[in-house]
Amino acid sequence: MKPVVLLAGLLALAPLAVADPLDPLIAEYESYVVAGDPGEAAREAGLAPTRWGHVRKPDVAARAAKARALLDEIEAAETSRTVDAAILKRLLTEEISAETFDTARIPFTGDWGFQAAPVFAAMRLRIQSEADADAWVQRLNDVPRYFAENRVNMARGITTGWTAYTDPLATTRAQIEAQIVDDPATSELYAPFLSLPDTITPEAAARLKADGLVAAANAIQAYRDTARFIDLTYAPAARKEAGIARLPGGREAYAAAVDLHTAGAGHTPEEIHAIGLTEVARIRAEMDTVIAETGFEGSFAAFQAFLRSDPQFYPHSDTELMDKAKEITSRIDAILPLYFGHLPSLGYTVDPVPLSIAPGYTTGRYVQGDPREARKGSYLVNTYALEQRPLYELPALSAHESVPGHHLQISIGQEMEGQPRFRQDYYATAFGEGWGLYAERIAGEAGVYQTPYERFGALSMEMWRACRLVADTGLHWYGWTREEAEACFFDNSALAPLNIQTEVTRYIGWPGQATAYKIGELKIRSLRAEAEAALGDKFDIRAFHDVVLGQGAVPLDVLDAQVKAWIAAQTAS
């Protein structure tokens, strides 16, 4: 009998592969996402989005009900796809939590929110066809409806005692004001029509630009209406305390937010506060050592004043700052193969933060790309108030936001093969931000920090994240004032005053998110130490990093299990 015939016979007798019980639930979840996200629905159809999502309370409640039903099914499923199940549970719990605590009542954080979404969409948009341009016209014309729904939610916040604090509100109000221009042709929202491709005929281009002007004017009017609502109705009702600790259900909402953002770490707010204090003390001791290396004679406060005031540490132009950021990322790119066996194909750019939102925006941020659309990621550098942008912090910031930080981690996840879309797009805050902070440590190990001042800057950035644990829990659990929250940063870091003020505004407006960075980084460092101790000479830093990033973003408890399984396998081999 020929071997091939025998093989065929065996295949015929073999039982058919049985689908995992989670498979149909994944399909159900993906349909759920598309139904609630017009942008995702358009991308799935290969089209440009024409509208924004609905944020009305009944819509949120309906989605939460579907999420609860799907969550029950996933929890009951006997599946071997444990990582998929763990992530789906987290995603659905987030949807449910948003409805439970009615988070839509405060739809902005100080540097992000509904008011910024159209601006960023315009910035990222590259019109390739007449259909793309028509889609943007429709999306601009949908801005009034989208903003009106958010105003209704904000009004409900007034009646239920859940409003924003004055600082995030003021920053948001300034971002709105920046979009109110008399001539829509000068608006950032109209900018995509200024670079239509040559494939669009002159006649079509003229029509699209005319339609675009009308649509931009409609969107600008929505900004005017929102500004008027804030000034006359919302601002007088803004809450008087910085944190949410004393709002109705505030502590419960904060505990849920901490659990969401720390993604499986299992710490209470009290434990996180204590961890923060311990880390502040440790980092401060390391800072003192670096100060001694510089030969500086004087107190810690005097050294801080020196760093915050000496012109040698600050860029003199936007161009100098951007060129320095590009030079740093180029150097880091060159050392990546020493630390990673697998690198993403997707590239990234280094760009300035849009001027209209720069005053209240964080010092740097990564905006992810999309391999499916061949759209590169973007490392945004804030060029506003150059006297507040110290160059000694730029290497650590660049490592965090670009490579080996967010761009590397997110792009590897996006490019995973054989994984469902939700796995490729999942972002666990503690994993992603913890990796970003850990990436700053890799940069230090690789010699990216070339002077004691840059090493101090990296420690200052780490202190920033340690103080976040103290300040965030202080604000939203213990009821601290803004000044009490800022004290840790002013007393222990070299962060510029504007950066401290901007960041604390963000923590006030986004409860719990700031706790993720240090908690995630400490978990990754702990797992690395465990691997180094167990494997000794067999420890391979490239293999360790590939294991950490290889399955995309995951909750911290899942990461713990993955790395320990790898350690066990390496030990046994």
pLDDT for position 18: 52
Confidence of residue 166 (pLDDT cuts 50, 70, 90): very high
Confidence of residue 382 (pLDDT cuts 50, 70, 90): very high
pLDDT for position 482: 96
Q: What is the mean pLDDT of residues 79-91?
A: 96
Q: What is the mean pLDDT of residues 323-340?
A: 98
Higher model confidence: residue 7 or residue 211?
211
Confidence of residue 12 (pLDDT cuts 50, 70, 90): very low
Beta bridge partners of 194: none
Tell me the two tokens of residue 53. Answer: 């999502």
Tell me which residue of 101, 110, 22 sits closest to 57, measured CA to CA: 101
Confidence of residue 15 (pLDDT cuts 50, 70, 90): very low
pLDDT for position 410: 98
Q: What percent of the chain has pLDDT over 70?
A: 97
Helices (H), ranges, 195-317: 202-229, 250-262, 269-294, 300-309
User: 304-318, 346-360, 407-421, 530-544: which range is least confident on average?
Assistant: 346-360
Contacts of 120 (CB under 8 A, 6+ apart): 354, 367
CA distance 248 to 255: 14
Tell me the two tokens of residue 488. Answer: 């840790």
Neighbours of 208 (CB within 10 A): 22
Confidence of residue 182 (pLDDT cuts 50, 70, 90): very high
Q: What is the mean pLDDT of residues 352-378?
A: 91
Asked if pLDDT for residue 355 goes beyond 90, the answer is no
Asked if pLDDT for residue 6 goes beyond 50, the answer is no
Whether omega before 404 lies within 30 degrees of 0, making that bond cis, reads: yes
pLDDT digits (tens, 9 = 90+) for 68-81: 999 999 999 999 99
pLDDT for position 361: 85
pLDDT digits (tens, 9 = 90+) for 103-155: 999 999 987 999 999 999 999 899 999 999 999 999 999 999 999 999 999 99
Confidence of residue 357 (pLDDT cuts 50, 70, 90): confident
pLDDT for position 1: 36
Q: What is the mean pLDDT of residues 286-309?
A: 96
Asked if pLDDT for residue 11 goes beyond 50, the answer is no
pLDDT digits (tens, 9 = 90+) for 480-491: 999 999 999 999
Asked if pLDDT for residue 314 goes beyond 50, the answer is yes
Asked if pLDDT for residue 339 goes beyond 80, the answer is yes
CA distance 380 to 399: 12
pTM: 0.90
pLDDT for position 291: 97
Per the rule left: phi > 0, alpha: psi between -120 and 50, beta: everything else, 414 is alpha
Q: What is the mean pLDDT of residues 435-461?
A: 97
Q: What percent of the chain has pLDDT over 90?
A: 92
Q: What is the DSSP string of 76-94?
A: H---S-HHHHHHHHHHHHH
CA distance 358 to 382: 6
Asked if pLDDT for residue 400 goes beyond 80, the answer is yes
pLDDT digits (tens, 9 = 90+) for 214-262: 999 999 999 999 999 999 999 999 999 999 999 999 999 999 999 999 9
Confidence of residue 362 (pLDDT cuts 50, 70, 90): confident
**What integer best gives the mean pLDDT of the chain?**
94
User: 60-64, 168-172, 178-182, 355-359: which range is least confident on average?
Assistant: 355-359
pLDDT for position 264: 83
